[in-house]
Every structure is written in C-alpha cells, then in structure tokens.
Amino acid sequence: MSSNWLVLLALTLEAGGVAGLLSPEPGNVHLIAYLLAHAIACAILAAVLLSLLPRRYRGQPVTAAFFLFTVQFAIPFIGSAGVLVGILLALYLPRSRREIPWQEVAIPELPFQPIDMDLQVIYSQGGLRQVLREASNTDKRLTALMATRQMNDRDAIDILREALKDPADDVRLLAYSMLEQKEKTLAHRAGVLQQALQKEDSKKQIVRQRRLAQTWWEMAYLGLAQGGLRQYYLNSARTLLLELVSAHSRQNDWRLLGRVELALENVDGADQAFRMALSEGSAPELILPYLGEVAFLRRDFRQVRQHLSACPPERFHPANRPIIEAWL
C-alpha cells in the first residue's frame, strides 16, 4: 500500500472521529471512538512522515516515530498539519541568513602560527657566542639570548654574562633580566629552606640541610655569585656538608663536599672527601675523574693517568671522554 493511500486512510479516520465527536448526541462512547481513531491516524501519519525525514534524523527510527506520534496526538485536528509544515519544511529548507560563528580579525603582527622547527637554525653554545659577537642585527642577538632558555643553566649563564657587554640596550636589559630571574629563583629557594630549618624536627632537618647545601653550591657553580658572595655560598655549603657527613655519612654528600673543596682550592680536603665517597660505595666513574683533577693540581701527572685509566671505559661520561682520551 503506497503512502498516498495511507495518508488518505489517516485523514478518513481523523474526519470520521471528528464527525462522531460533533454529533448531536455526544457521549463517552463518541469520545473514546474519536481518541481511538485519532491515535490510529497519528500512528499511520507518523510512519509516513518518518520516511520523509532527512537521512541524519533517521538513525533512531523508534525515537523519531514516537516523537512524531506524540506531537500529533497532543494537538488534535491540526497536529498532523503542524508537523508537516513546522517540522519537515524547517528541516529541508535552509536558513535564508546564517549566523557566522566566528569573527574575522586582521592578521596580528606577532607570530600566531606554529613554528616549523625544520626551518629553524639550531645553535650550539659556540654558535650563540658567535651571533652575539658578530651579528649586526639586534633582533638576531635577542633571538640568540632567547635560545639560551633551551640550554643547561651553566652554559646559558656564561652566554648571558657575555651579553651584558653588548652595545645595544635591549640586549643588555634582556640578559640582565634573565640572569636576575635565575638568581631570584635560587635565592628564594634558599630562603624557604632556611626558614623551614627553624621549624621542623631533626629528621626533616637533614633533608633540608642537604637541599640548602645543594642550592648554595648551585649558586656558586652556575656563576650567579661572584667574588666575596661566591666565597660565602661555598663556605656555607661546606659547613652544612661537614655537619651532614659527621652525623650521617653518605656518598652523595661526600662527593658534593669534594666539589665544594675543589672550588675553594682546598686540594687536601677535596682528596679526602672523594676517597670517602668511594669508600661509601660511590660509582668509580663519578669519582675517579675528580681524583685525577686533584692529582693534576698537585702536579702528580702519573697519578692523573692512573686515576683516569681506572675509569670503566664503557661508563665514561660524555663530558669526560675527550679529557680521558687526551691523557691516555
């Protein structure tokens, strides 16, 4: 049976129900008969209208058919016409004027697109120094300074200190602000640790002391402190580390103490600290290069070769490999 016959049947049922409802002798029987005829007509029209829906609305036929039936049954007489005109036509006919969901703006001057890293020049430490010394364009020198953020702190700080001599004010100010930011970060950390040492129990104080000594050593090692201030940080770190190793002997504390003693040019103290680190179980490849440095400062070159040759070849640190290969 075609959809035309189904629509005609639905209209006939609807008309018959309305005629019975408007008869001169209305009653409950006529009302029940109308509701039954109206429900059958709505079900038939819902099935017909379901096939007329756009494809994207026919994914859940049961839900769509129930919705069409409910709307028609709830609005007697004109429910079917309202569904046909108000829903189907609205779904098929496009809007005469669509609202644009975005706002067009002019292209900004600052970079707003992802940077293609394949087109970017990757600078080494020497390359950055060369740009700072020889580039006539201030923007290139500023870009070189910004590239130091991807380097380790010690190499970056050396380059930033060199940039303080740049003739351009913008380059000098940027280098100074980046150095100051690094120094403030470490100084704030040290201040927080010093305050915490006054409040916590002895067990936690050991951890705080170790972190504070490492922070002071980092201030001096990175070159953020110069002259008397550097000497103060090194001596403060040495005092804390001596307290730590006297209370709880640990290889990492002995190794850091040896590095502090070397920075203070206390060769004998450094030698003792590094040998204690070895006896406490520190890895030889971490300590022997420092013992070789101690022997070099004593001008005992035979001991230098002896310490360096004792390093396991497969565990050379990449930074120590050229020195070890040169001596051996």
Q: Which of 42, 72, 89 is the last residue of a domain?
A: 89
pLDDT at 114 over 60: no
Residue 103, both tokens: 């706002």
Q: Which of 175, 199, 223 is the last residue of a domain?
A: 199
- On whether residue 80 sits in a domain, the answer given is yes
What's the mean pLDDT in 205-222? 85
pLDDT at 141 over 80: yes
Together in a domain, 18 and 79: yes
Q: How far apart are CA 71 and CA 91, in angstroms?
A: 16
- On whether residue 135 sits in a domain, the answer given is yes
What is the sign, positive or negative, of the torsion defined by CA atoms of 53, 59, 61, 67? negative
Q: Angle formed by the axes of helices 28-52 and 61-74, to 10°?
A: 140
Residue with the larger pLDDT of the pair 179 and 128: 179
- On whether residue 76 sits in a domain, the answer given is yes
Together in a domain, 54 and 127: no
Q: Give me the pLDDT at residue 111, please.
A: 56
- On whether residue 28 sits in a domain, the answer given is yes
3-state SS record for 183-217: HHHHHHHHHHHHHHHCCCCHHHHHHHHHHHHHHHH
Residue 204, both tokens: 């936690």
Distance linking the first and last C-alpha atoms of the chain = 100
Q: Give me the pLDDT at residue 280, please.
A: 87
pTM score, whole prediction? 0.55
Q: Give me the pLDDT at residue 283, please.
A: 84
Together in a domain, 10 and 66: yes
Q: 9, 40 in Cβ contact below 8 A?
A: no
- On whether residue 39 sits in a domain, the answer given is yes
- On whether residue 189 sits in a domain, the answer given is yes
- What are 148-175's pLDDT values in tens digits? 887 777 778 888 888 888 888 888 888 8
Together in a domain, 80 and 126: no
What's the mean pLDDT in 86-99? 63
CA distances from 263 to 120, 154, 162, 187 (A): 38, 15, 22, 20
Contacts of 17 (CB under 8 A, 6+ apart): 33, 34, 35, 36, 37, 38, 41
Number of domains making up the chain: 2
- On whether residue 182 sits in a domain, the answer given is yes
Together in a domain, 66 and 137: no
Together in a domain, 128 and 57: no
DSSP 306: H
Together in a domain, 82 and 128: no
- What are 234-291's pLDDT values in tens digits? 998 898 889 888 888 888 889 998 999 998 889 999 899 999 988 888 888 888 888 8
Burial (Cβ within 10 Å: 0-12, 13-18, ≥19) of residue 158:
middle
pLDDT band of 121, cuts 50, 70, 90: very low
- On whether residue 285 sits in a domain, the answer given is no
Residues in the chain: 328
> Angle CA(176)–CA(177)–CA(182) in degrees, nearest 5?
100
Q: Which of 179, 199, 219 is the last residue of a domain?
A: 199
Q: In which domain, by residue range, is 166 found?
A: 118-199
Contacts of 251 (CB under 8 A, 6+ apart): 277, 280, 281, 282
Together in a domain, 80 and 150: no
